[in-house]
Copies of this chain bind each other. A is one copy, B any other.
Amino acid sequence: MSNTEDRKLKDTIDGVTRNWGGKFFFEMGTPWKRAVNNWKNKGGVVVHLTAYGENAETSDVLDRIRGSGKDILIMVGSQKVPGEFFSEAVSDFNVAIGNQPHSECASVAVFLDRFFKGEELARSFQGGKVRIVPRSRGKEVAVEKKP
C-alpha cells in the first residue's frame, strides 16, 4: 500500500497470517515509484490492472505475461490513478479484467485465479494454527498439529 500508512490494516493481515499460515506480508508507506523501480531493477515485470487495458479474455495478454517467465508485481489503483501508470516507464502490461467498471479487489482475484489456472484455490499454507475442513453443510475447523 503505497503513499499511506494504516497500522490497523497491517495488524489485521498479520493476525490472519498467524492463524491461517502463509508468508503474506504487508508493506506500507513506500512511494509507488520507488517500489516499481526496485522491482524492475530486480528483473521483475509490472502488471497494471485497469479497465482500460488489454482484455484478459479476448486478448493473449495473459499468455504473454506467463511467457515472460518473470516474477510479477501487480499494481492496482482506485478510480483515479496517475497517468504514468500506463507508461512504459511503469507498466509492462496493462490488463483489463473486462473493459467495464469493476471492483479492483475483484480484478486482483480473477487475475490470480486465471494466472495460476485455478490451482491456488487448492493450496494449503504452512505455519497456521487452524485450517478449514471443506463441508457441503456447516463449519468445521481443524487445529493444525505442531510440526
Contact of A134 (CB < 8 Å), options: B16, B59, B88, B102: B59
Hey, which chain B residues are within 8 Å of A98, CB to CB? Answer: 120-123
Contacts of A108 in B (CB 8 A): 106
Least Cβ distance of A56 to chain B in Å?
6
Check if B135 sits within 8 Å of A54, measured CB to CB: yes
Contacts of A88 on B, CB cut-off 8 Å?
Answer: 137
Number of copies: 2
- In whole angstroms, what is the CA distance A110 to B118 when docked? 10
Q: Give Cα A140 to B99, complex, Å.
A: 11
For residue A52, give the distance in angstroms from its CB to the closest CB of chain B. 4
Query: What distance in Å separates the Cβ of A111 from its nearest Cβ neighbour in chain B?
Result: 10
Is the beta-carbon distance between A52 and B113 smaller than 8 angstroms? no
Contact, CB under 8 Å: B57 / A119: yes
Question: Within the assembled complex, what's the spacing in Å between the Cα atoms of A113 and B118?
Answer: 11
Nearest 9 Cβ contacts at the A-B interface: A106-B109, A57-B121, A98-B121, A99-B132, A52-B139, A57-B122, A105-B105, A55-B134, A58-B122
Known: A20-B101, A86-B137. 8 other contacts (CB 8 A): A51-B132, A52-B132, A57-B121, A58-B134, A91-B137, A94-B135, A94-B136, A107-B109
